[in-house]
Structure formats: structure tokens, C-alpha cells
Amino acid sequence: MDTRWLAAAVLGGVMMAPSVWAEGESRVMITPDLYSFKVMHDGTEYDIMRNQDPEHRIHSLYETTSRGLPQAMHPFAPHAVETLGEREFIHYMMQAQQDDSVMIVDTRTIGWHVRLTIPGARNYPYTMMDDEGDREWALDDFGVTSNAEGGYDFSQAKTLAMFCNGYWCGQTPAMIRKLLALGYPAEKLKYYRGGMQAWTSLGFTVIGDGAE
């Protein structure tokens, strides 16, 4: 993974080295050197960090294990869509705060998004791809324009780091497959496979009506 984002994090003041804490004090870290970072969401700044309560448990929305079949690690072959873990996803979260060509996209239906989501994510439900008006609106936000031949120009398409409910959820895969079918560049589509289930299992910051 490109580690230049870690250098940028140092310059941006988002890293907290263990040496600055009181002796014997322990913290639940994101990486060995990264404790927290900030993102903006609808005009409010949030600290992204892991829950520091040693008794904290996974959110009740994601505590059951009887969900559907797990998605493949690389479900879009032969398209080269990158599958992300948490640290890679965080790289894109941090990048999106400084670079308008990167977006964090919650592909779940609106009810899921309102109930619980990751700060900094913008909601474009996968169902938008099935309605022409909604699809054109989403593509416009993604930096896609129409060309003279009646197709799409993806030369300014944004990099989309996308997530849904978890390893078993098909909403992001459905969205990505529809974008690929339209010609969206595979290298600009990123799949956070663990989604909300993985995010909450690690105690990361969440927001929404159902935040505990």
C-alpha cells in the first residue's frame, strides 16, 4: 500500500504517538502510530477513532452472524476493482478530506444510511442505477459527463471508495457491477468488503439515528 498518506497525516497533525501519553496508559489504536483523524460530515467535524472502552461491544445492528453468503474477496474479476481493508479504506477517507476527486460512498438504501453510517460518507443507494434520472444525477456527482456520441465520458470520473453492510451484503457489489457495465474505470472503483459490520466490529466512530 502507498504509505505517503501516513506522512501527510503527520503533517496534518492527525497522528498521536504513544510516547505523548502518560506512562502505563494504553490506547486502542488504528495503526501503531495513528490514534485518530478528523473528517467533515454535513458541516460537522468528527474524530474517527476506535472506541476506548474495554467493555465496548459490536453494535446491535451487526452482532448476529446468521447473515447471507459472504461475498468473494474479488467479486468483479476480470475487472481490476481493488478490495479494501480498514486501513486502506481509511487512506481514502483521509484523502477525500483534501481531494475532491475522491469520494466515500455509502451504497445502502436510505433507511440504512440514516440509521448508521461512517462519517464523511455520502449516500448513493445502489437502486439509483435502475432509474434513469437518479442514475444521471449520481453520475454527474461522480464526475461523469455525456459525450457527443450519446455515451459517457469518464475522463474526470472520481475515485469511489464504496461500502455497504458487510461481507455478506450485495448492495455495493450490485452498484459496482452496474457502474462497470456503463464503462466506469475499474481502477477508480474501490470495494470496502467488510463494510459496516467490520467497521463496527473494530469500534470505529459511527453516526446516525441508531448510534449507541
CATH number at residue 168: 3.40.250.10
**Spatial CB neighbours of 168, under 8 Å, sequence gap ≥ 6:** 67, 68, 69, 70, 71, 197
Please check whether residue 92 lies inside any domain of the structure.
yes
Please check whether residue 125 lies inside any domain of the structure.
yes
Q: How many domains does the chain have?
A: 1
Instruction: Decide if pLDDT at 16 tops 90.
Output: no
Among residues 123, 122, 120, which one has the least CA distance to residue 45? 120
* Beta strand ranges found along 36-92 (DSSP E): 37-41, 44-48, 82-84
Per DSSP, 59 falls in state -
CA 10, 158, 155, 174 torsion-angle sign: positive
Which three cell numbers, joined as nine digits, stand for 82?
Answer: 481493488
Per DSSP, 50 falls in state B
Select the more confidently predicted residue: 6 or 77.
77
Please give the pLDDT value at position 8.
Answer: 44
Domain enclosing residue 157, as ranges: 50-201
pTM, two decimal places = 0.89
Please give the pLDDT value at position 7.
Answer: 39
Instruction: Give the model confidence (pLDDT) of 81-114 as tens digits.
Output: 999 999 999 999 999 999 999 999 999 999 999 9
